Copies of this chain bind each other. A is one copy, B any other.
Amino acid sequence: MSSREVPALLQRHGVQPTAQRTEIALAIFGNAGHQSADEVYETVNSGAIRVSRATIYNTLKLFVDRGMIRPVIVAPGKVFYDPNMAPHYHLYDTDTGELTDIGADQIEIHGLPTLPPGKQLDGVDVVVRLRSGADSKRGAD
């Protein structure tokens, strides 16, 4: 995604394309992976323009509300923002903190439970957790 396409993307989602929002969107959609709010802040501010943390957070929330990105929660206080809205899952490395996509086709989920009446499905989050060493953890058992 180029900086030329971003404003159109924003408008398509009913978001007024300002310089800051364009930079933030570019940081998220331009770069590959998933970034935390703080990483987005760093990415954006490493460039020419300067964007405050407040704006980063406000904008991220706006993008989530508008269905442009989705938050992936991997640990308390560890939220990544995922520009991939297609159904898919995640691989999280507990040691490195790295988050990787798993295609929807790589995990099959069958037989979701019956939903309570009046409720509707909002989404299914799957996080596969990895740890490095063969015996890096554990003590009991």
**Chain A interface residues (CB < 8 Å from chain B):** 13-14, 65-67, 71, 73-77, 79, 91, 93-94, 102, 106-113, 115-116, 118-134, 138-141
Contacts and interface: CB of A to CB of B under 8 A. Distances in A.
A114 to B, nearest CB: 9
A121 B92 CA distance: 10
A130 B139 contact: no
A130 B132 CA distance: 33
Given A65-B140, A116-B130, 15 more contacts: A66-B139, A67-B138, A73-B75, A76-B76, A76-B77, A107-B110, A107-B111, A107-B112, A108-B110, A118-B133, A119-B132, A121-B130, A122-B130, A124-B129, A125-B126
